[in-house]
Every structure is written in C-alpha cells, then in structure tokens.
Structure 1
Amino acid sequence: MHVTAILSHAEEGGYVAFNPETGTTTQGDTIDQALINLREAVELYLEEFPMKLGAAPLVTTLDIAVHA
C-alpha cells in the first residue's frame, strides 16, 4: 500500500512527517528517522481504524507573493 509522506523542517531541528490520508503526524532527527516513525504511526493508525485508501493525493507547491 502506498501512502503520502510530506516532510518539513521542524523549528527545533529535525523533520516533521505528515500523512494526509490518515492525518498522522510524527517527527525525527533525520529524514530517514522521520519516515520510519511515520510508517510505524500510519501502520498503528490503520490497525485501529482500518480504511480503504484510494489514490494518493496530488502534492505540489505554489508560489505566492509576499508583501512587506
């Protein structure tokens, strides 16, 4: 089963990992550790709340204008 992992830098260091299909969020000191933690968290979530996952969401970026 494929799920989406969205990673961003954490303010305190390391990375935050988010799975939009389940709403699961976790973190790790490295990208690899954040992904390992997210995999475990999503698996535990799906054990408790089984769900049929469809196609992965489209994840992209947008440029926005920032006004001072």
Structure 2
Amino acid sequence: MRLVNYRILFREEPEGGYTVIVPALPGCVTFGETVDEAIAMAREAVEVYIESLREKGEEVPAEEGHLEYRLTVEVPG
C-alpha cells in the first residue's frame, strides 16, 4: 500500500456549505455543510473513485510532478 496526496479545492456556496473538487480525479466532486464535513466527504469520494479505477484495471493518478500557480489579473469594473 502507498500513500498518495491529492489537492482539494473548496468553493463556498451562496446557500451554505462547500463544494469540493479533486482536480487530479476528473468528475470527483462532493459537498459538505462545514469545512470539516467537506474534507471527510472528499476523503470518501476519493476512496470510492480509486476503488472504481482499480476494479476497472485503470491506473490510479497521482499529482506528483504537477505545478501550481495562482494567477492574478485585473478585471475592468
């Protein structure tokens, strides 16, 4: 067994709660009412996603070698 780290992104929803996406796993999206619940739901979603990949005999992606950068742009107001 190996440990793999995945970056998760939170989007605070106007009606409350947080949508979470896992960029390295296309379509892996979940939701939680609080940040802690969103993290727990993301962990469960990733585990189910990986289980599905393994059942299909597909490779489990990892984020090693990915670069991240935050780009700031001006938007006319």
Shorter-chain TM-score category?
Answer: 0.7 to 0.9
* Aligned counterpart, 1:30: 34
Distance in 1 separating the partners of 2:37 and 2:22: 15
* Aligned counterpart, 2:12: 9
Question: Aligned runs of 1:39-58 on 2, under 5 Å?
Answer: 39-50=43-54, 51-55=60-64, 57-58=66-67
CA RMSD of aligned residues (A): 1.7
Choose which of 59, 65, 68 in structure 1 pairs with 2:74: 65
* TM-score calculated relative to the size of structure 1: 0.83
How far apart are residue 64 of structure 1 and its match?
A: 1.5
* TM-score calculated relative to the size of structure 2: 0.74
CA deviations over 1:1-37 (Å, ceiling 9, x no partner): 2111111211221111110111211111111100100
How far apart are residue 53 of structure 1 and its match?
A: 1.9
Larger Rg: 2
What are the ranges of 5 or more consecutive residues in structure 1 without an aligned counterpart?
none
Distance in 2 separating the partners of 1:60 and 1:46: 26
